[in-house]
Amino acid sequence: AQTVTQSQPEMSVQEAETVTLSCTYDTSESDYYLFWYKQPPSRQMILVIRQEAYKQQNATENRFSVNFQKAAKSFSLKISDSQLGDAAMYFCAYRTYSGGGADGLTFGKGTHLIIQP
Amino acid sequence: EPEVTQTPSHQVTQMGQEVILRCVPISNHLYFYWYRQILGQKVEFLVSFYNNEISEKSEIFDDQFSVERPDGSNFTLKIRSTKLEDSAMYFCASSENNLYGYTFGSGTRLTVV
């Protein structure tokens, strides 16, 4: 079974600074997907960014980018120019690439990101 | 932007009662999911549903749970006899295919008293 580990329960960053959230995972599969989800106080789960394991290029979405190290099984999220609205729980998630059935996501325990004004 | 809609947003029920949580997935999506998040803990997969049947379920999804797509738009999660430990946030999600991430609903907060 796959596991996802987020070793930082809480991170704090000054507004406009850059912060990196860590995520490692364990799998024996070669094809899979990795995700970062944001959960603000409203508790809705919002997809931030997605990475396909077969792609070497790191995914980027505006101020959000990832550092995907497949050999190290590491998938960190970098948030540039942090804004107050970025304050939330951030969850790293893994999904197998089955090509068939509707596979569930395996989530890490989350990192609580605090933005200091 | 299309949304996954969940109702109610908060439900309080007595222990031992049956509860049905409702979800309206995005209309052209084919895969449907339920997840649970106990307060302060990580999000856990419960079940996935495709082509009118359960595709995959976790060990949490025991005989007390069932899912149904009663018509072309709704997707429901039923808990037959609720326990205190069923208190959690329940998220519905849907996806167009199984290659990418999902769109999650806003969740239903279930409180069992």
pLDDT digits (tens, 9 = 90+) for A40-86: 988 888 999 999 998 889 999 999 999 999 999 999 999 999 999 99
Residues A23-43 as b/e (b if ≥16 CB within 10 A, e otherwise) read bbbebeeeebbbbbbbbeeeb
Statement: residue B98 has pLDDT above 70? no
- Substitution target in A6, A35, A43, A61 with the highest count of B β-carbons within 10 Å is A43
Chain B residues touching A37 at Cβ < 8 A: 101, 104
Residues 6 or more apart in contact with residue B75 via CB below 8 angstroms? B22, B23, B24, B25, B32, B49, B67, B68, B69, B92, B94
Statement: residue A100 has pLDDT above 70? no
Chain A residues touching B55 at Cβ < 8 A: 101-102
pLDDT digits (tens, 9 = 90+) for B66-80: 999 988 789 999 999
Whether B91 contacts chain A with CB within 8 A: yes
Contact A67, A57 (CB under 8 A): no
